Amino acid sequence: MKKTIYIIASCIIATVVACTNTGTNKESEQTPVTSVDSMIKRGGYLVATIGCGDCHTPKKMTDRGPVPDMDRFLSGYNASTPLGEYDTTLANSGRWALFYGDLTAAAGPWGLTFASNLTPDPTGLGNWTYDNFRKVMKEGKYKGIDNSRPIMPPMPWQNFANLSEDDLKSIFEYLKTIKPVNNLVPQAHLNPPPPAPKQS
């Protein structure tokens, strides 16, 4: 009798343990945990692949041509560098877009725009929330503020709007980890919008 009770008790315990383990495995399969470290790693990969540094990192001239100035990585147009003169007639003609030599400023029929500081310094994204960042990337809102002006060329936010929420969160997490650079980028000088076409 005691032997029978012992066998039954052993079976019950084994069943409970098996059910508990199965439940834990199912739960972990259904809700994968993404660590902040893996998000940062993916964010770095996306920033490099998308080419954010092409416009947002100042360049320095070397014997190999212009290369990114990694001391100012993703800090935008260098506010301490004079822009110099350019042909506004050509830029405003609608036929050309002109780029500053290191690609951190652009002029065209929309006006003159500067690449933003993406570092976690207060002059960059230091005071931004993810919601601000998302509105820039998904809705083209300047500084991610409702009722602000639209993001202007050459920032291709319409393409980046196709990124997933996970990708955007990963990029934002990564940008919070890079070296802060104090650089207050100048405000854009925007041309008035063109007149509405005349109705016949």
pLDDT (tens digit per residue) in 104-146: 999 999 999 999 999 999 999 999 999 999 999 999 999 999 9
Over residues 4-31, mean pLDDT: 46
Does residue 200 sit within a domain? no
Asked if residue 195 belongs to a domain, the reply is no
Whole-structure pTM value: 0.79
Compute the distance between CA of residue 44 and CA of residue 184 in angstroms, rounded to an integer: 23
Instruction: Say how far apart CA 141 and CA 135 lie, in whole Å.
Output: 6
What is the domain extent for residue 89? 35-190
Distance CA 75, CA 55 (A): 10
What is the total count of domains within the chain? Answer: 1
